[in-house]
Amino acid sequence: MEWLTCIRRAINYMENHLDDDIRVQDVAREVYISPFFLQKGFSLMTGYGIGEYIRNRRLYQAALDLLGTDDKVIDIALRYGYETPESFTKAFSRFHGASPSQIRSGSAPVRTFLPLTISVQMQGGNQMDYTITTMFPFRVIGFERIFDNETAYEKIPMFWDEITEKYAVNVYAGNPPANAFEKAVMENGIGEYGICIDDIGENRFRYLIAGKYTGGEVPEGMVLYDFPGGLWAVFNCIGPLPQSLQSVNTRIFREWLPGNGEYELGGNANVEWYDCIHGKPSDPDYRSAIWIPVKKKG
């Protein structure tokens, strides 16, 4: 599905089901796209996570219900997914800066949160540095952890720090590996890839700090993952991390996908590639890349 159509259809679906028990997976199913890519793209284009958007729209509608009906607070709370008046009042007050009773009495203003409308304005004249390439199947090995879409940006860097401190510092310093994990890091170049895999649902995804598997022992607690062959869009990044990757990532979803007439998202995983040989991530000319599986529009 064309990207802008996908985002607009997702918004329409959420608007039509504000008083239903819907989650990211339901929205993604409606628009035929991976929940991970939908959540990521929606956030980059709108500034809101899907769960946050639904929550804000419900709390705005709840305020309108308080003003326009005589419904009890408990009934309005249940209508918009809150199990108790207390949990509803807490969320409502945080959003509007006033309690339900204050809004109903007219002694406090309602915070407006209207349905989003999506338009794209192409900016600048510079072209993105990318290629479409066919990759053979490949296997990676790495350390895995499950993250929530809402907190991933904050927690993934901590995961990298943890793994680096535990298993990489020694071999990065040029010392021989002291255990099976350090041996795997050295032999498979673990740290070359950061991989997001969307296959578990519930607004969560698997994340791997990985390298290309070269064979040999897989220490207990590490995992293998196989990528099928297929088309990938490879976006090259030049500049210090994380700014360069974040900038390119934003442009992929705000500019490249909406303006691309030939390719659309495919698959349920994406890869960030890091140059582990030349330079440091803080260097102004550091090289990295974002790999996204794509398919030709049919």
Q: What is the DSSP string of 231-277?
A: EEEEEEEESSTTHHHHHHHHHIIIIIHHH-SSEEE-SSEEEEEE-SS
Structure-token pair, residue 43: 């956030």
For residue 119, the model assigns a pLDDT of 65
d(CA 260, CA 60): 35
Structure-token pair, residue 195: 């991989």
Query: Which among 295, 290, 288, 271 has a CA at the least distance from the CA of 139?
Result: 271
d(CA 295, CA 298): 9
Topology at the third CATH level for domain 3-105: Arc Repressor Mutant, subunit A (1.10.10)
Domains 3-105 and 130-296 share a fold: no
Q: What is the DSSP letter of 209?
A: E
Concatenating the DSSP letter of every residue in 59-82 gives HHHHHHHHHH----HHHHHHHTT-
The torsion region of residue 270 among left (phi > 0), alpha (psi -120 to 50) and beta comes to beta
For residue 279, the model assigns a pLDDT of 86
d(CA 251, CA 237): 12
Domain-by-domain residue ranges, the chain? 3-105, 130-296
For residue 124, the model assigns a pLDDT of 46
Asked if residue 208 lies in contact with residue 189, where contact means CB atoms within 8 angstroms, the answer is no
Concatenating the DSSP letter of every residue in 82-106 gives -SSHHHHHHHHHHHHSS-HHHHHHT
d(CA 163, CA 191): 9
For each of the chain's 298 residues, which pLDDT tens digit applies?
688 889 999 999 999 999 999 988 899 999 988 888 898 889 888 888 899 999 999 999 999 999 999 999 999 999 999 999 999 999 999 999 999 999 999 999 999 999 988 765 545 445 678 899 999 999 999 999 999 887 887 899 999 999 999 999 888 888 999 999 999 999 999 999 999 998 887 778 999 999 999 998 999 999 999 999 999 999 999 999 888 888 898 889 888 888 788 888 888 899 999 998 888 889 999 999 999 999 988 7
Topology at the third CATH level for domain 130-296: Multidrug-efflux Transporter 1 Regulator Bmrr; Chain A (3.20.80)
Place of tokens 């504000």: 18
For residue 125, the model assigns a pLDDT of 43
CB neighbours of 276 closer than 8 A, spacing ≥ 6? 189, 191, 192
Peptide bond into 157 cis (omega under 30): no
Asked if residue 234 lies in contact with residue 289, where contact means CB atoms within 8 angstroms, the answer is yes
